[in-house]
Amino acid sequence: MNHREDLKALIDHELSPQRAKEVREAVEKDILLQAELHEMETIGQAIREMAVQPEPVGLEKTLSALEANKRPLPWWNRIPRGLTLGTLGGVAAIALAVVLLPKALQRPAMDDASADFGSTSTVAAASKKASVLDNSKGAMSNSELFAPKAASADAPAAAGGVMDGFTEGKSLPAKAADVTIQVREIAKAETAIRSLVGDLKGTVEKANVMNRSTGQSQAEFVIRVPQGQLKAFLHDVKRQGSVIADDFKETNIEPEVKDLQSKADAETKNAQEIGEIQNRSKVTSEQIRLRDEKRKAEESRAQAQKRIATLKSQIVMSTVRVKLLTDRHKKIDPAPNKGG
Amino acid sequence: MQAVPGRHMRGEALEIAELARQYYDSVYRFCARRIGPDCAADAAQDTFLTAQKALRNFRGESSIKTWLLGIAHNECRRICRSRRIEPATVPLIEVASMDQTETLINRRALQDALAKLSDEHRDVVVLHEIEGLSYEEISVIVGIPEGTVKSRLHHAFLNLRRSLAITTEAPRGENR
């Protein structure tokens, strides 16, 4: 084996003990190797001693940038300085018109949630259009003004309105999608997807990006978007690369919610009855047993109500799992590169 | 004390600021030796902004410094491309120093020899000799196998020896 190629690694103590011993023995026997070893040591030492030591500047600026980047600015700080009073007046007029329309915009929002996946509501389209216009101008997001109640990021709070429709007998399916896309660059696709999510008032609930530093990576995201915006979102997400897998699920939650509601009601009644018996009982051990039973009934009711709330939120916000793969992902070669 | 990222999600901003205070100097110097002092502050800032976004994904498979330098490596490459910076022109050796006569190797000759190296070879020389990183750490930062790091260092030193024209017959140690 060529000992010359391992001279530098010998100096750097990066050889295995066995190999280091072999190379050291070879060096002791060969005067040329000794000379080369000495030269390498001299050059390395010179580089270390003579290297420039730049004086760091800009730490405070970086800390300020990190602080500013910590959370997005409130919307009033995002209004461009050049925005005129006329534009603001126009926005205010539109907002007023939306508020004054008697429930007209709420019904399409609910209809959209119950409609076929292929359709898009007028309100949602208007929201999307407004959002696109805002992006092109860099202005304040008007989609907040246009967005239907169901499109609020605060899903549980908004769910009540939708569930009013549910109790009236409307079938409101929960929708979910799984998409796997092959992209050129994970980082670019991630940025685009996060931007889309922001535009549509959605949230990224989970993000898992692997091997970002090597560029050979994959990423998985769990995203919640308003159900009315699901179609537009999926359309734009699929444009980030070539679609490898695409799965769409639609579940009618009505039977499960009804069952859960019955269970919650029964447990409420049960807890009340146990409480009354407990109050009448004069035996301590019996009181303790009844207290435990009552607690179990209340826990069971709370679980049912929690599950109902989750299901309600699924009507409002659809879950989308997006998996991104790079075309380099399959080409990871663990074998060391021999080339210099 | 070394801050541990990823442990407190809500304390992210606090942690990244802590990391910046702890590692800014190392990152800045690393960038300055790659793309020059004029752009180093920008590269260092971009490094920490990227780290801020990626902090939750840091798994602790490498040291924090190695992780940050890996990001800095990518930021430097990006800035090199966008601002058309030639890494070979970045001074690595303190040429202005007065003690030239006291060393075996001439400072300017060493700077010229380093400038003649390919970018890949110069990278590993800087990372190992100046930054003091191990072969394993370099392999993580640059994204190449350890064997390639070893090979590149060997060839880089071969080229340096040729450029410096140090002959084996020349007397050694007399000026040291």
| Three-class secondary structure of residue A175 per DSSP | strand
Order of all β-strands in the sheet with A173-183: A203-210, A218-226, A317-326, A173-183, A242-252
A18 or A113, which is more confident?
A18
Tell me the two tokens of residue A267: 């447990």
Q: Among candidates A319, A305, A236, A218, which has minimal Cα distance to A264?
A: A305
Tell me the two tokens of residue A199: 């535009």
- The ipTM is 0.80
Q: Distance between CA A105 and CA A100 in Å, rounded? A: 10
Contact yes or no for A54 and B28 at CB 8 A: yes
Amino acid sitting at position A77: N
Q: Distance between CA B95 and CA B98 in Å, rounded? A: 8
- A218-226 and A317-326 strand pairing: antiparallel
Contacts of A288 (CB under 8 A, 6+ apart): none
A248: phi then psi, degrees, rounded to nearest 5: -130, 135
Looking at chain B, the whole-number percentage of residues with pLDDT higher than 90 is: 26
Q: What is the DSSP letter of A79?
A: S
* Lowest mean pLDDT across A70-79, A158-167, B103-112, B149-158: A158-167
Mean pLDDT of chain B: 79
Write out the DSSP string of A228-252.
GGHHHHHHHHHTTSEEEEEEEEEEE
Q: Between chain A and chain B, how many beta carbons pairs sit less than 8 Å apart?
A: 165
Contact yes or no for B40 and A340 at CB 8 A: no
Tell me the two tokens of residue A264: 């919650």
Tell me the two tokens of residue B91: 């001074």
A166 or B29, which is more confident?
B29
Q: Distance between CA B132 and CA B126 in Å, rounded? A: 8
Contacts of B5 (CB under 8 A, 6+ apart): B15, B16, B19, B55, B58, B64
The residue to which tokens 């549980």 are assigned: A156
B115 or A68, which is more confident?
B115
Nearest Cβ partner for B41 among A7, A32, A61: A61
pLDDT digits (tens, 9 = 90+) for A253-282: 788 888 888 888 888 888 888 888 877 777
pLDDT at A104: 55
Does the pLDDT value for residue B2 go beyond 60? no
Averaged over A99-115, what is the pLDDT?
A: 52
Tell me the two tokens of residue B160: 């340096």
Tell me the two tokens of residue B169: 């017959």
Tell me the two tokens of residue A326: 């790079």
Q: Which residues of B touch A222 (CB under 8 A)?
A: none
* Lowest mean pLDDT across A16-25, A166-175, A231-240, B101-110: A166-175
pLDDT at A21: 92
A125 or A94, which is more confident?
A94
Q: Distance between CA A224 and CA B65 in Å, rounded? A: 35
A335 or A179, which is more confident?
A179
Q: Distance between CA A228 and CA A315 in Å, rounded? A: 10
Contact yes or no for A337 and B148 at CB 8 A: yes
Q: Which residues of A touch B65 (CB under 8 A)?
A: none
pLDDT at B11: 45
pLDDT at A52: 83
Q: Which residues of B touch A207 (CB under 8 A)?
A: 56-57
Q: Distance between CA B157 and CA B154 in Å, rounded? A: 5
Q: Among candidates B32, B75, B61, B66, which has minimal Cα distance to B135?
A: B66
CB B109 within 8 A of CB B93: no
The residue to which tokens 């444009």 are assigned: A239
Does the pLDDT value for residue B48 go beyond 60? yes
Does the pLDDT value for residue B35 go beyond 60? yes
| Minimum CA–CA partner of A219 in chain B | B57
Averaged over A224-244, what is the pLDDT?
A: 83
Q: Among candidates A196, A205, A219, A61, which has minimal Cα distance to B47?
A: A61
Q: How far apart are the first and last CA of chain A?
A: 18
B37 or B98, which is more confident?
B37
Contact yes or no for A39 and B74 at CB 8 A: no
Looking at chain A, the whole-number percentage of residues with pLDDT higher than 70 is: 67
A302-A308-A314-A316 Cα dihedral, nearest 10 degrees: -110
pLDDT at A327: 65
The residue to which tokens 């009448």 are assigned: A280
Q: What confidence tier does A26 reach under pLDDT thresholds 50, 70, 90? A: very high
Averaged over B30-58, what is the pLDDT?
A: 87
Q: Among candidates A227, A256, A235, A164, which has minimal Cα distance to A193?
A: A235
| Minimum CA–CA partner of B121 in chain A | A340
Contacts of B87 (CB under 8 A, 6+ apart): B34, B35, B80, B119, B122
Amino acid sitting at position B115: A
CB A328 within 8 A of CB B137: no
Q: How far apart are the first and last CA of chain B?
A: 39
CB A181 within 8 A of CB A175: no
Angle at B24 between CA A195 and CA A11, to 5 degrees: 115
Q: Among candidates A303, A277, A301, which has minimal Cα distance to A290?
A: A277
Prediction pTM value: 0.45
Looking at chain A, the whole-number percentage of residues with pLDDT higher than 90 is: 4
Q: What is the DSSP letter of A71?
A: S
pLDDT digits (tens, 9 = 90+) for A175-209: 889 899 888 778 778 888 887 887 777 888 888 87
Q: What confidence tier does B103 reach under pLDDT thresholds 50, 70, 90? A: low
Q: Distance between CA A95 and CA A243 in Å, rounded? A: 38
Nearest Cβ partner for A58 among B44, B130, B168: B44
Nearest Cβ partner for B130 among A51, A61, A62: A51
| Three-class secondary structure of residue B96 per DSSP | coil
Mean pLDDT of chain A: 71
Contact yes or no for A340 and B49 at CB 8 A: no
Q: Residue B18 to residues A135, A214, B12: CA-CA distances in angstroms?
A: 34, 25, 10
Q: Distance between CA B138 and CA B122 in Å, rounded? A: 12
